[in-house]
Amino acid sequence: MDQQPLFVKMAVDGWNQQIKATNNMLGKITDEQLRNEISPGKNRGIYLLGHLVAIHDLMLPLLRFEPALYPELVPIFIEAPDKTIADLPSVGQLREQWTTVNDKLSAHINSLTPADWFTRHASVSEEDFAKEPHRNRLNVLMGRTSHLANHRGQLVLLVPKS
Amino acid sequence: MDQQPLFVKMAVDGWNQQIKATNNMLGKITDEQLRNEISPGKNRGIYLLGHLVAIHDLMLPLLRFEPALYPELVPIFIEAPDKTIADLPSVGQLREQWTTVNDKLSAHINSLTPADWFTRHASVSEEDFAKEPHRNRLNVLMGRTSHLANHRGQLVLLVPKS
């Protein structure tokens, strides 16, 4: 039995579950609540949302799909810590970008063949990849699934008690 | 090329990275700090640590390795929400159990053959597994990797600023 498609399904299912749970959660947090800190002195929800948009956007070139859509978010939400930059994009804009970038990713993810997933990601050279074949595109997806789970566990603290 | 060992390496590496990051983080939080809430009104660190021990302990039977070591933790840290049970195990005991259960898991994980990872986990019947082969032991490990990442993102809020 060819287990390559099976393994791709497992990894893609894991990704889709995290995206779905995150979207469900974001639907329960108002824009106003997203401007709050997740805990006193810690990151604000808006920063974490922007961070996730920026990281997912960079998956487009990292997975060799297409250029990033929003490279202007990198200095704000990846390179700078929260509360060091006064002018942030609005929560509404970040929500739209979050949906757009994940839809783009999803279209590429669904069109990639199982064999394509086991080719190199953009940050590893052909030479290094020959020696370290685990540094493939599917491994990026798995790593970003954990990254999303990590920050989802933080954003959920902003969901109001029902 | 047989990619089965490669998938297993990718998934096991992801698990090991989360365990390592969590242990590193727990080393920076005192027992006293673990008794604090991660955010006002939210779960305490001790509850999240106990929850992780209990869930990892249940992986022992779920992965068909061996019986759970600490089934007494289930009603306290899985079935009951935080702050509903007055008498909890000590933080010191939970830290020891955390190390013990992960060491046990690690020994089993390292001895399982790649083919064994793609056999069913304990909560799916032979009949259902024949139709849904993604419900295998490796998928459990991948799901628990995201589960750990999720709660690690919460526990990290207790790490004091250096």
- Per-residue tokens: A65: 């799909």
ipTM given for this complex: 0.96
The reported pLDDT for the residue numbered B120 is 97
**Pairwise CB contact (< 8 Å): A40 & B39:** yes
Residue with tokens 């793609």: B118
Q: Band of the pLDDT at B2, cuts 50, 70, 90?
A: low
pLDDT 10s digits, B44-63:
999 999 999 999 999 999 99
pLDDT at residue B150 greater than cutoff 50: yes
Contacts of A12 (CB under 8 A, 6+ apart): A109, A141
pLDDT 10s digits, B76-91:
999 999 999 999 999 9
Contacts of B128 (CB under 8 A, 6+ apart): B135
- DSSP states of B24-43: HHHTTS-HHHHTSBSSTTS-
- What is the chain A residue with the closest CA to B133? A6
User: What average pLDDT does the structure give for chain B?
Assistant: 96
d(CA A63, CA B113): 30
Could you tell me how far CA B132 lies from the centroid of its own chain?
Answer: 24
Suggest the residue from B157, B158, B161 to mutate for an interface test with chain A (most A CBs closer than 10 A): B157
Q: Band of the pLDDT at B162, cuts 50, 70, 90?
A: confident
d(CA A5, CA A27): 32
- Per-residue tokens: B126: 């032979």
Of A39, A136, A145, the CB nearest to B38: A39
- What is the chain B residue with the closest CA to A3? B4
pLDDT tens across the length of chain A (162 residues)? 467 899 999 999 999 999 999 999 999 999 999 999 999 999 999 999 999 999 999 999 999 999 999 999 999 999 999 999 999 999 999 999 999 999 999 999 999 999 999 999 999 999 999 999 999 999 999 999 999 999 999 999 999 987
The reported pLDDT for the residue numbered B1 is 47
pLDDT 10s digits, B18-43:
999 999 999 999 999 999 999 999 99
Of B36, B13, B33, B47, nearest in space to B151 by CA: B47
**Pairwise CB contact (< 8 Å): B9 & A146:** no
Residue with tokens 């990026």: A140
CB B69 within 8 A of CB B57: yes
A27 backbone φψ class: left, alpha, beta (φ>0; ψ -120 to 50): alpha
Of A133, A149, A157, the CB nearest to B146: A149
